[in-house]
Structure 1
Amino acid sequence: MVFFSVVQSLAPLPSLLSLSFPRRRCPLLAVAAAPRCPLNPQLLAVAALPAAPACRRCSVIHLLVAVAVRLAIAIACEPVTGAPSLCLSESVTWESIHSQVEGAGGIFLSLARYEQDVLVVESHDRPGGAAHSFDIKGYKFDSGPSVFSGLQSKGSQPNPLAQVLDALGESIPCATYDSWDVYIPEGDFRFRVGPTEFLKDLEKYAGPNAVQEWKKLMDAILPLSTAAMALPPLSIRGDFGVLSTAAVRYAPSLIKSFVQMGGPFGAKKLSRPFSEILDGLDIKDPFIRNWIDLWSFIFSGLKTNGVISQEMVYMLAEWYKPGSCLEFPNHGSAAIVDALVRGLEKFGGRISLRSHVEKIVVENGRAIGVKLRSGQFIRAKKAVVSNASMWDTLRLLPKDVIPKSYSDKIKTTPQCESFLHLHLGIDAEGIRDDLGIHHVVVNDWERGVDAEQNVVLVSVPSVLSPDMAPPGKHVLHAYIPGTEPFELWEGLERTSPEYRKLKAERSEVIWKAVERVLGEGFRREKCEVKLVGSPLTHRRYLRRHRGTFGPALEAGKESFPGSSTPIPQLFCCGDSTFPGIGIPAVAASGAIAANSLVSVSQHSQLLDAIGI
């Protein structure tokens, strides 16, 4: 989720498989400098590799370019109808003299690392977007609890956030842990990552048949996970230079993975809904199906019938491998934002807070800069890059320059619902000593994990990072993840009695979940800080269209667009673009956009420098 983001399956390989080429010239023929090709663009999707291309020249090129090129080239093709994305914080506009950017993504950091002249323009009074933190009465609240792994790893591992930090020469000290507390209709238990501990809980709550089905699933997942990690996200760029930085550079591992998956049909599995893998393995146990639906929804906003298999394959392999552990940054997610800002400034970048972008300025059909609410115009020498949601980026563009097909695509893109938050500062006295950091409460499996007010997530980060609360206290954040309808709140005045009443009514399910997590020693009246955040809070402070969690793009039906747009010199990154939702994914999308704005030589030098 935007806030609750694990280092997901971000290696682009399977996502590339789901991309199709625009209805223009055949990109393979473009590589060979051929004039024209009638090949149906849909057949160019690697997931549906044609057995008999429409022209002989394509057949030859298919053989010469081979599997690795086909895997990488998909991302290089500029879409006819893409969608922008920006990850607004209370505004989110990052721009630069060379590149103007909106939001908190890897774009401005990568551009700074490339020694581009970067100015970040942020309308909030602090950086970080949906990952920012705030202090009240000595309690340090994250905008949302996040689950991380791989933040301290190096090399070609598929964590783009770690790779961006490595490129900037920054690191983040983390505490490690290996468990969640789970409260489900079958009972309450402490779920531990790793290959064996979960089997004990599975046998207790679901029986021996479920254990056998789970083992069968894991046996199938592990080979697929190798393919999900075959291509580092930072190797991707939005032009044909990707042939050098990705296809050629990683050809051996790509081809090996492609063969291991059984060719195009095996590879296609990773770009399809994860439910198809479960069905193909005849996984029927209701506990397992509910369990995987739960984690799929928590991390992507979609159940297994909508989430791309790549994401779940990586997550399951990562969580259930020997020696698996999770990480929490010391001092919370603010530590990540601080490290990124240090990296930005280290390489000459600048950040301007309280600078609200009013509109993206377009002249002669090209994005040339932005105009701030103050009236100031900032010109971009090279590009404007928006990290806002696709809907918010559209709103910033002059209506007369937007192609209708582009606008219609964005307006008809399905949206995830919003959030409801409860931030508490509490006294630790009377709270159980074995309290864990993360907790998930499911009230009713029958209603579905995506039903309103059915799933509540609770995070107590001061368990691992005590400095986030005063001595003897805890900081707590609980929320309903992406299931709160904006329609219930639309039109309400934030200062009205009706608004306060609705917040009290809708947050009651969260309070009850907190009471279940903290035990009998907790009393509401003893809370020193009580804050309820609604979808209107999301819209206001994070500048999210309708407070949305992000695009609800179902695997097999739609895919996240790339960084390019129909407006020359306007690029996008963030959770509305490939690879999708989550802090690591946003970092990857920013890096991809940045890579597209520099030469192949500069890009390759960066990959060499960070050892991937």
Structure 2
Amino acid sequence: MSQTDVIVIGSGIGGLSCAALLAHYGFDVIVCESHSIPGGAAHSFERQGFKFDSGPSLHSGLSYRPSTNPLAQVLDAIGEEVPCVTYDTWGCCLPEGKFDTSVGADQFCDVLQRLRGEGAVGEWRKLQKVMAPLAEAAIAIPPASLRFDLGGIITMGQFLPTMAKHIFNVAQLTGAFSQIIEGVVTDSFIRNWLDLLCFLLSGLPANGTIAAEVAFMFAEWYRPGVVLDYPIGGSGAIVDALVRGLQRHGGQLMLNAHVQEVVVKGGRAVGVLLRNGKEIRAKQAVISNASVWDTLKLLPEGIVSKSFRQQRQATPECNSFMHLHLGIDATDIKPDLACHHIIVNNWDKIDAPQNVVLVSIPSLIDSTLAPPGKHVIHVYTPGNEPYQLWQGMDRKSQEYVQLKQQRAEIMWQGLERIIPDVRSRCEVTLIGTPLTHERFLRRHRGSYGPAIRAGEGLFPGPNTPLPGLLCCGDSTFPGIGLPAVAVSGMIAANTLAPVWKHREMLERLVI
């Protein structure tokens, strides 16, 4: 039986952020990862010389400082950096037609002028003015200062004077973003566009997305001089940086270490039991980076109250993903093609199954991802693939193969709007399904994450009723994606850390 200070279950970005910070604070940390590759939904993998991102493909706030991106703050705290290629444009294939758009305050107005006229431009400018103070309020307290104990009074206290300037905007940040839009935006295209942005941020449309998430996005994407980032080497480069920081500060990463159960003694979480029979004890805490539903599966019956288990089990969930990973011949593909594309089939219901398709061709800006003369492509339907279609299916059956081909067709069709002859170019073709998510990412029903609607529930934070057990990841903090899970990891680590060490870390950061 091994022993350490803290055990982190899962090496997703939230778990690695938490573990690397804890190691930086001086804790002995062991991360137990079920998969053979770290990174969770953000891991990279290779096939025949092509390096694929399994999940996130759109990044910002990693290439410049000061940055409001919590992931950048984690990297700064542990002394790691991720070299990035920068760009500012992506392509859109919408019911209104095809166009390119950019981050920044002005270019989208040019798009609106062409598509909708001067009235729409005026409404967008009005929305920007309304969002400006809300964006400032959303970033007034740096995520790195957050912790879920009384020490937060001290670590967040130094930022309260700044926060006090925005006190009247805070209430608006806690409601649905749709409430901000009312009375400001009437143009149908802009409202549809905002629904799309909300869906990509949280898995929910504007009437379910908390306003603070959108305000943070406005602070990032619609300021002067903003750029988007792509980590050289793919999203796996971020994972590698976090693992380096963890190990350089004395932490351990155990791969192929599937946690079977949280060990509880004397009413307290004291360790984990691995599937291979090995037990690891934690002197201070066990932190689960698994989803809320998967964490419950790790707890012995009767350890937490029935009402708590039922409440957490009932957490609403987003749908899953379909993925298409391709390695293709790049002959005669224009080098100035946008590396990312958003395809919307109709605006009737933005989160309808297979309605939104995202395309990423990162080798257009990072040639290290594919052999010479080739491109790597990731196409996916983000959080809109129903698990029910796949439930109970045998992955080795012909029925499964046929359904994969059928449900992947919408992705092929979307990609053909960008590269018409793409099917004839393919050298590597991989299709991922909700069962792929469920199996390799250990995600309950392959889910994208919780679908807690603004005004109908709150994300619970790191604490649980079981002493010694904390949580991080997308089940604890609003906003699906890397910034949100990085915040969750920081909060869990900071909550365990001595306040004086936490303050020392804040003093070193440029925030």
User: Normalised by the shorter chain, which TM-score bucket?
Assistant: over 0.9
Paired AA for residue 503 in structure 1:
K
Q: CA deviation at 1:317?
A: 3.5
Show the counterpart of 1:279. 182
Show the counterpart of 1:577. 476
Structure 2 distance, partners of 1:535, 1:96, is 36
CA contact (8 A) 2:136 2:219 kept: no
Structure 2 distance, partners of 1:223, 1:533, is 41
Q: CA deviation at 1:298?
A: 1.1
CA contact (8 A) 1:218 1:317 kept: no
CA contact (8 A) 1:536 1:546 kept: yes
Show the counterpart of 1:256. 165
Structure 2 distance, partners of 1:323, 1:607, is 26
Alignment gaps of 5+ in structure 2:
none
CA contact (8 A) 1:231 1:250 kept: yes
Structure 2 distance, partners of 1:118, 1:96, is 10
TM-score by length of 2: 0.97
Q: 1:597 to 1:183 in 2, by over 3 A?
A: same
SS of the residue 2:486 aligns to: helix
Pairing of 1:48-87 with structure 2 (within 5 A)? none
1:454-473 deviation digits (Å, cap 9, x = unpaired): 11000001011111001000
Q: 1:368 to 1:580 in 2, by over 3 A?
A: farther
Q: CA deviation at 1:578?
A: 1.9
CA contact (8 A) 1:145 1:477 kept: no
Q: CA deviation at 1:537?
A: 0.2
Show the counterpart of 2:444. 545
Structure 2 distance, partners of 1:585, 1:523, is 34
Q: CA deviation at 1:610?
A: 2.1
Show the counterpart of 1:220. 130
Which of 401, 415, 424 pairs up with 2:326?
424
SS of the residue 2:286 aligns to: strand
Paired AA for residue 251 in structure 1:
L
Which of 332, 336, 343 pairs up with 2:234?
332
1:89-130 deviation digits (Å, cap 9, x = unpaired): xxxxxx971111112221101100101001111111111111
Which of 224, 244, 260 pairs up with 2:154?
244
Q: CA deviation at 1:250?
A: 1.0
Show the counterpart of 1:153. 64
Pairing of 1:95-494 with structure 2 (within 5 A)? 97-103=4-10, 104=12, 105=14, 106-155=17-66, 157-246=67-156, 248-258=157-167, 263=168, 266-281=169-184, 283-446=185-348, 448-494=349-395
Paired AA for residue 415 in structure 2:
V
Identity across the alignment (%): 53
1:413-456 deviation digits (Å, cap 9, x = unpaired): 1100000000000000132332111001111112x210111110
Q: Tell me which structure has the larger Cα radius of gyration.
A: 1
SS of the residue 2:148 aligns to: coil
Q: CA deviation at 1:199?
A: 1.0
Paired AA for residue 225 in structure 1:
A
Q: CA deviation at 1:324?
A: 1.6
CA contact (8 A) 1:579 1:588 kept: no
CA contact (8 A) 1:96 1:117 kept: no
Paired AA for residue 164 in structure 2:
I
Alignment gaps of 5+ in structure 1:
1-94
2:418 is the alignment partner of 1:509: no
Structure 2 distance, partners of 1:317, 1:205, is 25
CA contact (8 A) 1:97 1:378 kept: yes
SS of the residue 1:152 aligns to: coil
Q: CA deviation at 1:254?
A: 1.2
Structure 2 distance, partners of 1:250, 1:504, is 53
Paired AA for residue 325 in structure 2:
H
Paired AA for residue 122 in structure 1:
E
CA contact (8 A) 1:123 1:353 kept: yes
Q: CA deviation at 1:200?
A: 1.4
Structure 1 distance, partners of 2:272, 2:115, is 56
2:398 is the alignment partner of 1:497: yes
Structure 2 distance, partners of 1:594, 1:150, is 22
Structure 2 distance, partners of 1:608, 1:460, is 39
Structure 2 distance, partners of 1:252, 1:280, is 31
Paired AA for residue 162 in structure 2:
S
CA contact (8 A) 2:63 2:229 kept: no
SS of the residue 2:4 aligns to: coil
1:56-92 deviation digits (Å, cap 9, x = unpaired): xxxxxxxxxxxxxxxxxxxxxxxxxxxxxxxxxxxxx
2:503 is the alignment partner of 1:604: yes
Q: CA deviation at 1:611?
A: 4.1
SS of the residue 2:182 aligns to: helix
Paired AA for residue 278 in structure 1:
I
CA contact (8 A) 2:103 2:221 kept: yes
Structure 2 distance, partners of 1:169, 1:370, is 29
Structure 1 distance, partners of 2:86, 2:237, is 15
Paired AA for residue 4 in structure 2:
I
Q: 1:280 to 1:439 in 2, by over 3 A?
A: same
Paired AA for residue 450 in structure 2:
P
Structure 1 distance, partners of 2:453, 2:411, is 28
1:158-203 deviation digits (Å, cap 9, x = unpaired): 2111111111111111111111100011110001122221111101
CA contact (8 A) 2:328 2:426 kept: yes
CA contact (8 A) 1:420 1:532 kept: yes
CA contact (8 A) 1:415 1:550 kept: yes
CA contact (8 A) 1:429 1:472 kept: yes
Paired AA for residue 152 in structure 1:
S
Q: Which of the pair is proportionally richer in strand?
A: 2
